[in-house]
Amino acid sequence: MALLDSVDTLRRVAFLAALPAGELAALSSHCAVRRLAKDEILFSEGEACEGLFVVQSGAIKVFKMAESGREQVLGIDRAGSTVAELPLFDGGNFPASAAAMEDSTLLFLPKREFLDLCRRNSEVAFAVIRTLARRFRYLTTLVEELSLKEVSHRLARFLRDRALTEGVRARRGIEFPLQETNQEIAAEIGTVRDLVSRNLRRFVDRGILRLELRKVIVLDMAELEAQAAGSKRAVPSERERAVASIVKG
């Protein structure tokens, strides 16, 4: 797929979309192109923020890394999204790291040009505030998920959201591709790979979904919704009931 030019890329950003073509062209003249290979670091936690990154193609994950090496993904930004705008406004360094999940291309707009735009255009400034507010709401939800919900509920929510955004209704159920590895899913929902694998098997055993290579078929959307909400436990499989009866004697 051919890349959009710089003006078209900026036009896809929600808080820049309403700008006249001439102003977008002026902004694009200040942009530099940055290309990243898969897994290449865009910036590391603690580095100074020098400007705004706009994703032109590919996918960028923003993440925190523990001393143990465990990774928690805070968000994934794709084409038309901006990455880590917060330090532009508070004057601090990047509070997290960012890396390419696949080969990616970004535009870099220097901090001075972006802040000058916000000072000149209150509509852009308020639109940026709305973007930051959405990110804050997402992170608030993420804290709740990590603190208060079990891994099975977090995994169910991940799968439910993917089914709603990318799923196609077919004869067998709702189908969608799952390109992430179990390790990548674990980093996104705040757990470890083994627990992702174990809970996926449980969902399959309970008839909630089916896995075919890297495709998911949701067989029981209502039960997946219930698991995502944490409102009830799925009905145990025959194998789990048999194990439970042995334990109870």
Read off the tokens for 213: 């290579």
From CA 52, how far away is CA 157, in angstroms rounded? 31
Task: Work out the pLDDT band at 241, boundaries 50, 70, 90.
Answer: very low
- Span 180-214, pLDDT tens digits: 889 889 988 888 889 999 999 999 999 999 999 88
β partners of residue 13: none
- Span 50-95, pLDDT tens digits: 999 999 999 999 999 887 778 888 889 999 999 988 899 988 999 9
- Can you give the pTM of this predicted structure? 0.66
Mean pLDDT of the chain: 87
pLDDT of residue 139: 84
Task: Work out the pLDDT band at 168, boundaries 50, 70, 90.
Answer: very high
> Which residue ranges form the domains of the chain, and what is each CATH number?
6-141 (2.60.120.10), 149-248 (1.10.10.10)
pLDDT of residue 243: 41
Average pLDDT over residues 36-55: 95
Which among 245, 242, 224 has a CA at the least distance from the CA of 234? Answer: 224
Sign of CA dihedral 164, 170, 172, 177: negative
Query: By the 8 A CB rule, do 189 and 155 touch?
Result: yes
Strongest mean pLDDT among 30-34, 177-181, 230-234: 30-34
What angle in degrees, to the nearest 10, is found between the helix axes of 193-205 and 151-166? Answer: 70
Distances (CA, A) of 106 to 30, 128, 214: 13, 19, 27
Read off the tokens for 57: 């193609």
Task: Work out the pLDDT band at 24, boundaries 50, 70, 90.
Answer: very high
pLDDT of residue 149: 78
Cβ neighbors of 224 (< 8 A, separation 6 or more) are: 156, 159, 160, 163, 203, 208, 209, 218
- Span 94-145, pLDDT tens digits: 999 999 999 999 999 999 999 999 999 999 999 899 888 888 888 887 777 7
Burial of 1 from C-beta contacts in 10 A (0-12 / 13-18 / 19+): exposed
From CA 34, how far away is CA 40, in angstroms rounded? 11
Backbone angles phi, psi at 151, to 5 degrees: -60, -40
Average pLDDT over residues 212-227: 91
pLDDT of residue 148: 64
- Span 127-138, pLDDT tens digits: 899 888 888 888
Which among 78, 41, 80 has a CA at the least distance from the CA of 63? Answer: 41
